[in-house]
Structure 1
Amino acid sequence: MSDVRSLGGLEVEVVAGRTEPVLAIHGVSSNRRLWNWLRAEAPELSLIAPDLRGRGGSVGVGGPSSVARHAEDMVAVLDALDLESVSVCGMSMGGFVAVALATAHPDRVRDLVLVDGGFPMSVHEGVTEDGVRAAFTAQASRVGRTFTDVDEYADFVLPGMPLLDRDDPLLRDYLVHDLADGRVRLDPGILVADATDTILGPSSWRQLDRPTRLVYAEWSTGEGSAPAYPPDRVAQLAAELPALQATELVEGVDHAASIMTRRGAAVVAEHLRTL
């Protein structure tokens, strides 16, 4: 059972389950249906899954936007639900938002599961602001197009996610949620601002004191690509940050597939069950 509500100014899907609620925060160019695979693997989980400002059902919620602003939006969602403290699961930029939330408002976060995000990424070392803006401006070009159907949209976006199964009905549902009348529900200015802040902005991860788990992918984009988090970097993070209590490498997946496949979602589900 789930229902969609307007909470804290955002469109939020609240999924009823048998557990204490988990706030699930999606990535920079994603939407709340990112959690389809987690729901399939762990139907017992109670989830609070917002569309972040500028995406999906929250596309009309404008900027300015940043990781810190998203964290404050999450506080507003929790306030609207009368929840004092929750477990938080964040993927990619959602992991950075989760860390910002846990460090700015530690009383609102019990613990965290971060999925290929939340800490500075090796693949971003040496990237300039111009480079980030160029890359994500190109990614935002889909906003200016009209797609005849979800299959045409899949043709456009899936080459950048090569390990996903085009025939997966969970993926189709995710892509459908991006669209309204053939247009992508994404604010390009917010996308670029958020990407720039995530990659180049300040991070409070060293202040993190909530129990934290990191699930990370073997590759970044496709088989053999350099990972966001090489194992030696993860070991260094664990040595420097006592709050990072568990880490797990998911072999055979890349960044997107770390949550958008049953294989990746199963690992994430097991870490959420241990909280």
Structure 2
Amino acid sequence: MQQQREYEDTGVEVDGGRLAVRRWPGRPGAGTLLAVHGIASNGLAWTRVAGELDGVEVIAPDLRGRGLSRDVAGPASMARHADDLRAVLDHFAVERAVLAGHSMGGFVACVAARRDPLRYSRLVLVDGGLGFPVPEGADIDAVLHAVIGPAMRKLEMTFEDRAAYHAFWAGHPAFAELRGPDVEAYLDRDLTGAEPELRSACRAAAIREDAEDELRNPEVFAAIHELTVPAEMLWAERGLQDEPVGLYAPDVVAASGLEAEGVALHFVPGENHYSIVLGLSGARTVAAHVRDAVAASPVARA
């Protein structure tokens, strides 16, 4: 049974509004993890990882345009999210933290670490951060539908109640084994509106803006290759829809040059793109790497 940790929900002022943040307080001197979710997700994706990090302060914002940060105004991009992360650290008087990012959050983390290397002691990238550009002229919506599938279709749907939304995800092949109150709370945070017309809290414009930046910006592609802080990347065996080959095929990882550049690479067998953070075994694996990163980092608060 995973430990249930005390938490607090708060807001942090950023350009365009108030960013919603879930924070699990830690023990003095035990270090801080700043955790960044994926393109159509929210901060509660990190709940199970936080549950494995007793004593470590874990701070997980809903990125602008998602979850309870849906109404934060202004365009989205990896650089804009990096600015928001800096504001979050300042709000909680954290001078330096371990930075983790899942999926698109990995790209945000790499850009943030390149922009503010003194604020981050180490990076833990989880099935994200390594770019693969899309063909010139490809329609971003079509690419997103092909890659993230149901996570994109949900933006076009309404749901009569929370149970219907949970059932929608229960039918997702990568969610087949993902159950429990933590997963339900994560899904509930992605709902807005009122029954019988609930819809995803993800703002479609923010998803598209981030996808354009993540998939077409050379500076975003380069960030992982230009890091000046220690970094590691965990990559899942299986894909976004539980395909046998993950988001990063073994040959892609081998050809990336990351290992030669000093990024430690860790293959995570048996997990897919979602279960690596939302599943109990995946969360334990990620937390073990985070725990090591925190232990190797000096504790710094302003």
Structures share a fold, TM > 0.5? yes
> Which residue, 124, 132, 152 being the options, matches 2:164?
152
2:178 and 2:275 in contact (8 A); partners too = no
Change beyond 3 A, Cα 1:161–1:91: farther
- Pair 227,131 (structure 1): closer, same or farther in 2 beyond 3 Å: farther
Aligned residue number for residue 196 of structure 1: 212
Structure 2: segments with no counterpart, 5+ residues: 1-5, 294-302
Gaps (5+ residues) in structure 1? none
Matching of residues 30-109 of structure 1 within 5 Å: 30-109=41-120
Equivalent residue runs for 1:120-199 within 5 Å: 120-121=131-132, 126-128=134-136, 130-136=138-144, 139-180=151-192, 181=194, 182-199=198-215
User: 1:212 aligns to what?
Assistant: 231
1:42 partner SS? coil
Contact preservation (8 Å) 2:121, 2:230: yes
- Name the structure 2 match of 1:274: 292
Report the alpha carbon displacement of residue 133 of structure 1 after superposing the two structures with TM: 2.1
Q: In structure 1, which of residues 244, 247, 253 is the aligned counterpart of residue 265 of structure 2? A: 247
CA contact (8 A) 1:163 1:253 kept: no
Residue 214 of structure 1: SS of its match in structure 2? strand
Aligned Cα root-mean-square deviation (Å)? 2.1
- Aligned counterpart in structure 2 of residue 15 of structure 1, from 18, 24, 31: 24
Match of 2:189, SS state, is helix
| Partners of 2:144 and 2:241 in 1: CA distance | 19
Q: Which deviates further from its counterpart, 204-213 or 228-237?
A: 228-237
Tell whether 2:249 aligns with 1:233.
no
Task: Provide the C-alpha distance between the structure 2 equivalents of 1:76 and 1:230, rounded to a whole number of angstroms.
Answer: 35
Question: Percent identity at matched positions?
Answer: 33
1:256 equivalent to 2:274? Answer: yes
| TM-score using structure 1 length | 0.89
TM-score by length of 2: 0.82
Equivalent pairs counted in the alignment come to: 270
Letter in 1 for 2:288: E
Partner of 2:11: 6
Shift of 1:178: 0.9
Contact persistence 2:225–2:258 (CA under 8 A): no
Deviation at 1:120? 1.5
Instruction: Report the 3-state secondary structure (helix = DSSP H, G, I; strand = E; otherwise coil) of the residue aligned with 1:77.
Output: helix
Once the two structures are TM-superposed, the CA of residue 154 in structure 1 deviates from its matched residue by: 2.4
Per-residue deviation, 1:104 = 0.9
Q: Distance in 1 between matches of 2:232 and 2:187?
A: 28
Work out whether residues 90 and 115 of structure 1, in 8 Å CA contact, stay in contact via their aligned partners in 2.
yes
Inter-partner Cα distance in structure 2 for 1:28 and 1:215: 18
Structure 1 residues 166, 223: CA separation in 2 closer, same or farther (over 3 Å shift)?
A: closer
